[in-house]
């Protein structure tokens, strides 16, 4: 008996798989764009109320770490349910609140608004560049994952250590490293979606959002240090 799979069946399966990957990628982009709304809203409320600035640096760090990891745990637990998207958007609002301390400090500079727009433009260029590369590169980038994860953990640990050391040189170095590592993370995460290794758009959005957030924050910090103008 002939067990050969008809060519049209194989083509149909490939088309269905490609359609699924495109749907996940499209939903990831849409949800990422939507997640920017609560982030901006959270940052605006934080600046207007001075909520994040009112907390001491130590309390702010504990709230940030506890809130961020708590939200990420909840997102992974609910990513296959109807609650996944609202929890993700709640997380992005929280991240906006936490960003408001830096945004408020930069807005205190005479050219603060232009620095924020420059950081936003720079982040957008990096994102578009990595997204374009993810669709061009054909090789499997899975091996990048563990090295990027190790790099992110090292930067996180060094960042927490610098909270106590208060070294400007280390802060600048870490900001540059963050931009490099998380730019590569955008490429890695989007490539995983396109290769069918990530099939949940909420998880994919969470990964890309964290990369975009960290790149923007680091760019804004560097611009504030080197390009800030005081009255």
Q: Structure tokens of 198?
A: 């990530």
* Distances in whole angstroms, Cα of residue 46 to Cα of each of 70, 74, 83, 194: 20, 23, 25, 36
- Position 55 scores a pLDDT of 80
| Dist CA 25 CA 32 (whole Å) | 10
Residue 223 is predicted with a pLDDT of 94
Q: What is the mean pLDDT of residues 43-59?
A: 86
pLDDT above 90 covers a percentage of the chain that reads 68
Residue 177 has pLDDT above 90, yes or no: yes
Q: How does the average pLDDT of the chain come out, rounded?
A: 90
32 CB neighbour count, 10 Å cutoff: 19
Give how far Cα 25 sits from Cα of 2, 83, 172, 180, Å.
38, 20, 33, 23
The pLDDT assigned to 96 comes to 96
CB 75 within 8 A of CB 202: yes
Residue 222 CB partners (closer than 8 Å, separation 6+): 172, 175, 176
Tell me how far apart the alpha carbons of residues 110 and 114 are, in angstroms, rounded to a whole number. 9
Name the pTM for this structure. Answer: 0.90
Q: Answer for the pair 111, 231: CB distance below 8 angstroms, yes or no.
A: no
Please give the pLDDT value at position 1.
43
The two structure tokens encoding residue 81: 């349910």
Burial of residue 24 (CB within 10 Å: 0-12, 13-18, 19+) is: buried
CB 92 within 8 A of CB 208: no
Q: How confident is the model at residue 150 (pLDDT cuts 50, 70, 90)?
A: very high
Please write the tens of the pLDDT for every residue from 9-31.
Answer: 455 557 778 788 889 999 999 99
């Amino acid at each position: 008996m002939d067990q050969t799979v008809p060519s049209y069946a194989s083509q149909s399966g490939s088309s269905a798989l490609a359609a699924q990957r495109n749907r996940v990628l499209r939903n990831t982009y849409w949800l990422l764009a939507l997640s920017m709304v609560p982030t901006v809203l959270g940052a605006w409320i934080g600046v207007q109320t001075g909520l994040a600035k009112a907390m001491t640096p130590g309390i702010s760090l504990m709230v940030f770490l506890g809130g961020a990891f708590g939200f990420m745990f909840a997102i992974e637990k609910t990513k296959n349910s109807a609650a996944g998207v609202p929890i993700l958007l709640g997380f992005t609002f929280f991240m906006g609140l936490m960003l408001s301390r830096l945004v408020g400090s930069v807005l205190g500079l005479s050219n603060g608004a232009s620095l924020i727009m420059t950081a936003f433009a720079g982040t957008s260029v990096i994102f578009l560049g990595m997204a374009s590369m993810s669709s061009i590169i054909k090789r499997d980038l899975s091996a990048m994952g563990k090295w990027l994860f190790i790099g992110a953990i090292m930067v996180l640990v060094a960042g927490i250590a610098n909270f106590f050391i208060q070294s400007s040189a280390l802060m600048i170095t870490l900001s540059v490293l963050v931009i490099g590592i998380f730019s590569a993370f955008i490429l890695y995460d989007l490539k995983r979606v396109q290769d069918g290794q990530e099939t949940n758009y909420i998880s994919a959005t969470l990964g890309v959002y964290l990369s975009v957030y960290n790149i923007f924050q680091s760019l804004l910090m560097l611009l504030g240090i080197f390009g800030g103008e005081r009255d």
